[in-house]
Amino acid sequence: MIDTAALRAGNRRALAKAITLVESLRAEHRAEAQRLLEALLPHTGRSIRVGISGIPGVGKSTFIEAFGIHLIAAGHRVAVLAVDPSSPVAGGSILGDKTRMETLSREDGAFIRPSPSQGALGGVAHKTRETMLLCEAAGYDVIIVETVGVGQSEYEVASMVDFFLVLMLPNAGDELQGIKRGIMELADALVINKADGESLGLANRTRQHYQNAMNLLSHGGFWVPRVTTCSAAEKRGIAEVWQMIGEYRQGGEASGELAARRARQNGEWLRKLIGEMLEQRFRADPRVRAELPRLEARVVRGEITPYSAAMQLLG
Ligand code: GDP
């Protein structure tokens, strides 16, 4: 049993136990986790949820450490959750190693949780959504969700946060940064890190380049995505990022767009879960399990079309 009173009072052990429960794949744990989440739901949602993405080496952990320390000094409580797209088979977690964010992890006001193991419904980020709610109930008022800028995980993180920030290197060339147009469209801010030393001039030119690109992408609404520079190593430009997020929050609350964004995200999450649960049930059906290999072989041999095989299985 999870001690919800202790969790709500900010007890770390209770929070960690609750997260372990939510991450568990066992059916009876799922049911208990859902009861817990429902009990805590009235106490969630009061944080600002910030997604931070960027290619390996861009300075995510350095940035989050500096940013987190800044927030804690200002009286906030900060939870850092990681969504790690790497498979355990392919060399393990990129984000999970404990040497990252050492200073921040020693702070009383900080809670750092590496990615859960995978295999759950709802993609790699599913557990992170629920963990985020637990952290909110435990009184963390800034939730940072970190992910490596490769693949699907960015979309998943963007779809669970209020503000999605992409860290970039001083290097005005989209190809060099592996930046896809889709990621630019998701970003509420691009922050060019390592704007220090010899890179300062290049960082400013990069900022100009991306600001022009972002202005073209802007699609109305209360927020025009911004491009800023910072040096996580020298701790410059960090306070400005928090200031920017504050302005975003103010505008989003005043216009109602922040609440609308969260409502939209919940709807999308529900639809996604329904789709995955249906598929899981379908695949678990004994008749489907028996017929699928046989029909697949016939499709491969060109005897029937994929469409009619799918229709037969669904029938
Ligand atoms: P991550 O892989 O995105 O988490 O990146 P890290 O935070 O581990 O940083 C990668 C490397 O970049 C490390 O050697 C950092 O010391 C360095 N680094 C991070 N931020 C800055 C910065 O603002 N300026 C400079 N010059 N180096 C930085």
Q: What is the DSSP string of the chain?
A: ---HHHHHTT-HHHHHHHHHHHH---HHHHHHHHHHHHHHGGG-S-SEEEEEEE-TTSSHHHHHHHHHHHHHHTT--EEEEEE--S-TTTTS-SS--TTTTHHHHT-TTEEEE-PPPS--TT-TTHHHHHHHHHHHHTT--EEEEEEESSTTHHHHHHTT-SEEEEEE-S---HHHHT--HHHHHH-SEEEE---SGGGHHHHHHHHHHHHHHHHHH--SSS---EEEE-BTTTTBSHHHHHHHHHHHHHHHHHHSHHHHHHHHHHHHHHHHHHHHHHHHHHHH-HHHHHHHHHHHHHHHTTSS-HHHHHHHHH-
Taking the centre of ligand 1 as the mean of its atom positions, its distance from the CA of residue 62, in whole angstroms, is: 6
Strand, helix or coil at 154? Answer: helix
Above 50 in pLDDT, residue 88?
no
Taking the centre of ligand 1 as the mean of its atom positions, its distance from the CA of residue 152, in whole angstroms, is: 23
Tell me which of 52, 53, 55, 62 to substitute to probe ligand 1's pocket, judged by most ligand atoms within 8 Å of the beta carbon. Answer: 62
Average pLDDT of 153-163? 91
pLDDT, tens digit, 9 for 90 and up, residues 65-74: 999 999 999 9
Q: In the prediction, which pLDDT does 93 show?
A: 52
Above 70 in pLDDT, residue 54?
yes
Average pLDDT of the chain is 88
- The residue nearest atom 19 of ligand 1, judged by CA position, is 59
Choose between 97 and 272: higher pLDDT: 272
CB-CB contact of 125 with 273 (8 Å): no
Taking the centre of ligand 1 as the mean of its atom positions, its distance from the CA of residue 147, in whole angstroms, is: 15
Which residue in the block uniquely carries the two structure tokens 């986790």?
33
Average pLDDT of 180-195? 87
Ligand 1, residues at Cβ distance < 6 Å: 54, 56-62, 193-194, 196, 231-233
Above 50 in pLDDT, residue 89?
no
Which residue ranges make up each domain of the chain? Answer: 44-255, 269-314
Whole-structure pTM over 0.75, yes or no? yes
In the chain, what is the straight-line distance between the N-terminal and C-terminal CA atoms, in Å? 43
- The residue nearest atom 22 of ligand 1, judged by CA position, is 194
SS3 content of the chain, % helix, strand, coil (to 5): 55, 15, 35
- Second-level CATH architecture of 44-255: 3-Layer(aba) Sandwich (3.40)
Taking the centre of ligand 1 as the mean of its atom positions, its distance from the CA of residue 222, in whole angstroms, is: 32
Taking the centre of ligand 1 as the mean of its atom positions, its distance from the CA of residue 129, in whole angstroms, is: 27
pLDDT, tens digit, 9 for 90 and up, residues 275-314: 988 998 999 999 999 999 999 999 999 999 999 999 999 9
Average pLDDT of 224-243? 96
Above 60 in pLDDT, residue 176?
no
Above 70 in pLDDT, residue 123?
no
